[in-house]
Structure 1
Amino acid sequence: MKSVLVLALCATALAPAMAQDATAQEWAPSEPVTIVVPWAAGGSTDTVTRVVAEELSEALGQTFVVLNQPGASGSVGTRSVWEAPHDGMMIAAGAAIDLGTYPVLGTLDVPLEDWRLYLHVAQPSLISVSADSDWEDFNDLLEDLQDGGDAITVGSAGLTSATAVSMQAIESAADIDYKQVVYDGGNPAVTSTVAGETQMTAQTAVEQVDMIRAGRLRPLAVMAQQPLELEGYGTIPAITDFLPDAAVAPNYFGLFVPADAPEEVLSSLDQIWEEQISNSEALKTFASERGSLFSPSYGEEAVEAAMPYLSINAWQQYEGGAAPNDPSEFGIPRP
């Protein structure tokens, strides 16, 4: 991001640059701004969005209110933002993979290019089981997933959730049998495994860390190419230690604003991301404590960062028959 800004300053005179800075400060919302979290309270999107809302409230001197609106794997809440006036007063939150996959699934006919992305953290998924489970490591679980007996039940937040994508990645690398049990969000999906309603989950680390530290969940693998050092627990091995061909990439979360929102809204958010979110101690602490990667970006840089995991998800959905539309029609390359 810094190199882009330097080039921009070199290419323009000082006065226009000062005018651009002034424009970035023009957005002064006169009433609270709503951030729609399209999942139940307590999940990965909800918890980090509340941290970001506080940062935005401080930056703009106006309250940013988080509204939970779950349904249809996140598309209901996101649709409500798209169908509202594109004036910056309603902003969507979520995972970039969901936003980009909605058109492929046919649940929301709005391509990624019609949104401006503001990302903050990447959240890896963990393959976890109840602490009193007989599965001691991922190899033990994998054997039972492959044995052709009763399908293992998996607590999931829905079609494009972290669990769904993770299980499809494992399925692509190994012949397994399982049954997803869908809940209204990541938090109830994780709770289902703790309570014994389901036998495992693959939701994000942020949704599991409290139960892991409390000794209620046992993490067997992280959906990444490197192990995860989880504060207060220890090392969780990478899924590629067991399945080298498993498709993994960072799962980025953020805020999404219609790209045709007023220029003063977008330029203000650009500047806030550049100057404040990228240096946010609150978000850095959140990432450190919740097993996340602090990696803010916005605009085209954000799209580039999110695309690897988005590509994995969109093509898995399409080739698995869950999505009717070809991802390439929406500019999503095959991973």
Structure 2
Amino acid sequence: MRTARRTLLGALALGLSALAPVAFGQTYPTKPVRIIVPYAPGGTVDAVARTLAVRLSEQLGQPFVVENRSGASGAIGSDVVAKSPADGYTLLMQASTFVASALLVKSQPFNIEKDFTPIANLGSVPLVMLVYPGLPMKNLGDFIKAAKAAPQKYTLGTAALGSASHLAEEAIRHEAGVDVQIIPYKGTAPAMIDVLGGHLTGMVDAVPSLLQHIKSGKARALAVTSAKRLPSLPDVPTVSESGLPNFEMVSWYGIWAPANMPADLTTRLNREINTAMQSPQVVQNLGAQAFIFSNTTAPQFGAYVKQESAKYKQLIEKANIKVD
């Protein structure tokens, strides 16, 4: 009798433990969710995160709150997520810089593969190079010519070391053979303030971050980093058209969670984020700014991250990019 009872209780316990993860994923979220953006407000990472957060809040009935934790080229905010519980209530919004900076900055307090769970690939955007409009240069060819004539005179800002913007600037510097200073900032907005004030020659960053300044005439676009010209900037040539053949670089964006996230919760979050990114509100908001949407599973995103890491490693070695 006792043996039979123990067997029954054991079976019930196993059954409940098997159901628990499913129930956890189905009931999530039951309280507000933080989306950590490891950069200052005003950049594309921040803008995409806020657009997504609004839709997820409506979709899931709980607040998704964007929290900016800038510093150390994104490492400070990212580390907050790495050290948080793997319960889905602290998420990381990051960009391709997350992967590239790991190859450049060896002293980071976390390991991307070991300390994070890839959740969803949101999509990508092309980059654009712009300069202070008071300068005489009208295109990338003019910039290269001026930089060759006056080494170290011109400066380019970057929102974060290891970002797609930083890599694009380094690649342009390497392929054009120019000696320009690249200055790191704590986000796109602080760098843009210096460009608008004429304290910084220019910068390369994602189109959504800089489009308003170009359209208003407060900054001059020299080239876009995509393979083709953009509908939003039809008169701006590509870098490839400007004398650096086959040049192409985009910035992509994704959501990560701490390591060891329950599989069912990872799947649930991936599904909800993909649904939110395909909503008419988000498509209209981001699509108008040259955002190219993605729709992949969490494992597919993980594989993509590894593929991009290999590509960045090759570029970093080729251009001899180093971070002091």
TM-score (norm. length: structure 2): 0.84
Preserved CA contact (<8 Å) 1:102 1:108: no
Preserved CA contact (<8 Å) 2:156 2:183: yes
AA partner of residue 144 (structure 2): L
Do structure 1's residue 221 and structure 2's residue 223 form an aligned pair?
Answer: yes
In structure 2, C-alpha distance between the alignment counterparts of 1:270 and 1:158, rounded to whole Å: 26
Distance 1:242-1:234 versus aligned 2 partners, 3 A rule: closer
Kindly provide the CA deviation profile for residues 234-264 of structure 1, in whole angstroms up to 9, marking residues without a partner as x: 3321111124445424321121113411233
Distance 1:215-1:100 versus aligned 2 partners, 3 A rule: closer
Preserved CA contact (<8 Å) 2:168 2:249: no
Preserved CA contact (<8 Å) 1:103 1:110: no
* Number of residue pairs aligned between Structure 1 and Structure 2: 302
**Which residue of structure 2 lines up, in the alignment, with residue 302 of structure 1?**
301
SS of alignment partner, residue 118 of structure 1: strand
**Which residue of structure 2 lines up, in the alignment, with residue 280 of structure 1?**
279
Where does 1:23-38 land on structure 2 (aligned, <5 Å)? 26-38=26-38
Preserved CA contact (<8 Å) 1:81 1:92: yes
Kindly provide the CA deviation profile for residues 149-190 of structure 1, in whole angstroms up to 9, marking residues without a partner as x: 343111221311343111111123221111122221012212
AA partner of residue 149 (structure 2): D
Unpaired stretches in structure 2, ≥5 consecutive residues: 1-18
In structure 2, C-alpha distance between the alignment counterparts of 1:207 and 1:27, rounded to whole Å: 36
AA partner of residue 146 (structure 1): K
SS of alignment partner, residue 31 of structure 1: coil
Return the offset for 1:312: 4.1
In structure 2, C-alpha distance between the alignment counterparts of 1:308 and 1:244, rounded to whole Å: 24
Unpaired stretches in structure 1, ≥5 consecutive residues: 1-18, 325-335
In structure 1, C-alpha distance between the alignment counterparts of 2:196 and 2:305, rounded to whole Å: 30
SS of alignment partner, residue 288 of structure 2: helix
Do structure 1's residue 260 and structure 2's residue 260 form an aligned pair?
Answer: yes
AA partner of residue 110 (structure 2): D
TM-score (norm. length: structure 1): 0.81
SS of alignment partner, residue 285 of structure 1: helix
Where does 1:110-259 land on structure 2 (aligned, <5 Å)? 110-112=111-113, 114-230=116-232, 234-245=234-245, 247-259=247-259
Select the structure of larger CA radius of gyration: 2
Preserved CA contact (<8 Å) 1:100 1:112: no
Kindly provide the CA deviation profile for residues 205-245 of structure 1, in whole angstroms up to 9, marking residues without a partner as x: 11101111111111111112111121xx5332111112444
SS of alignment partner, residue 211 of structure 1: helix
SS of alignment partner, residue 205 of structure 2: coil
SS of alignment partner, residue 226 of structure 2: coil
Preserved CA contact (<8 Å) 2:99 2:305: no
Distance 1:57-1:293 versus aligned 2 partners, 3 A rule: same
Alpha carbon RMSD of aligned pairs, Å? Answer: 2.6
Do structure 1's residue 71 and structure 2's residue 84 form an aligned pair?
Answer: no
Distance 1:204-1:39 versus aligned 2 partners, 3 A rule: same
Preserved CA contact (<8 Å) 1:115 1:257: yes
Return the offset for 1:109: 3.3
Distance 1:306-1:139 versus aligned 2 partners, 3 A rule: farther
In structure 1, C-alpha distance between the alignment counterparts of 2:59 and 2:90, rounded to whole Å: 17
Preserved CA contact (<8 Å) 2:127 2:204: yes
Preserved CA contact (<8 Å) 1:209 1:291: no
AA partner of residue 267 (structure 2): S
